[in-house]
Amino acid sequence: MATHKGLMTLFGKLGFDRRQRYELIYAWTGGRTKSSTGLLPIEIDELYTMLQNDFKFSSNTDAHIEILCKKKRSIVLSIATRTGIHDPNDWNRFNRFMKNSSILKKQLNQYEIDELDKLIKQFRALEDNYGRSAKKAGTKAWSHKHGLPRISHN
């Protein structure tokens, strides 16, 4: 059975820096914790075994984390497309929204794995507000939902 100290030693041998350890633990626990002290004994044992015995896993941990980030970014983009913030043919509007209105005011590709959870929460709330607004005739959301041009109030 692996120990916390043994896991930290293995991280050192494999050349993980602090950020990489946090990201790996965060991904391994499904977002429950970033710290190795928050790991359950069974999680320590499983992670230690994977890192020690599976060369492909230990040499591609950045790839595993990037796959998880890609899935989370995809969630954000799909919500943004449904709500009209993102047009697949024009990224300018979406990038402007991200820099001015997203929770951490930075581009989507600059969000870390744990920050993406906060961003997803923001976009789910945004989608909920969009759904409520789309039920009211004449609103911007209603026009977008029904594929109509924006109504001018001039």
Quote the CA–CA distance of 10 and 133 in Å, as a whole number: 52
pLDDT confidence band for 88 (50 / 70 / 90):
confident
* pTM, entire model: 0.62
> Helix count (H) and strand count (E) of the chain?
8, 0
Q: How far is CA 16 from the centre of its chain?
A: 21
pLDDT of residue 60: 63
Three-state secondary structure of 19-88 = HHHHHHHHHHCCCCCCCHHHCCHHHHHHHHHHHHHCHHHHHCHHHHHHHHHHHHHHHHHHHHHHHCCCEC
Question: Residues 122, 72: contact at Cβ < 8 Å?
Answer: no
pLDDT confidence band for 114 (50 / 70 / 90):
confident
pLDDT of residue 103: 94
Identify the weakest region by mean pLDDT among 5-19, 49-63, 107-121: 49-63
pLDDT confidence band for 152 (50 / 70 / 90):
low
C-alpha torsion sign, points 8, 63, 121, 103: positive
Indicate if the pLDDT at residue 78 is higher than 70.
yes
Question: Residues 83, 126: contact at Cβ < 8 Å?
Answer: yes
Q: List the one residue out of 92, 87, 120 whose CA is nearest residue 104.
A: 120
Q: Which DSSP category does 90 fall into?
A: B
Express as a percent the part of the chain with pLDDT over 70.
92
Q: What pLDDT, in 10s, does the model give residues 20-60? A: 888 888 888 888 888 889 998 888 988 888 888 876 666 66
Helix axes 18-28, 61-83, angle to 10 degrees: 70
Q: What pLDDT, in 10s, does the model give residues 16-31? A: 888 888 888 888 888 8
pLDDT confidence band for 94 (50 / 70 / 90):
very high
Name residue 90's beta-bridge partners: 87
- Mean residue pLDDT across the chain: 85
Using a 10 angstrom Cβ sphere, with 0-12 exposed, 13-18 middle and 19 or more buried, the burial of residue 105 is exposed
Mean pLDDT across the stretch 138-146? 77
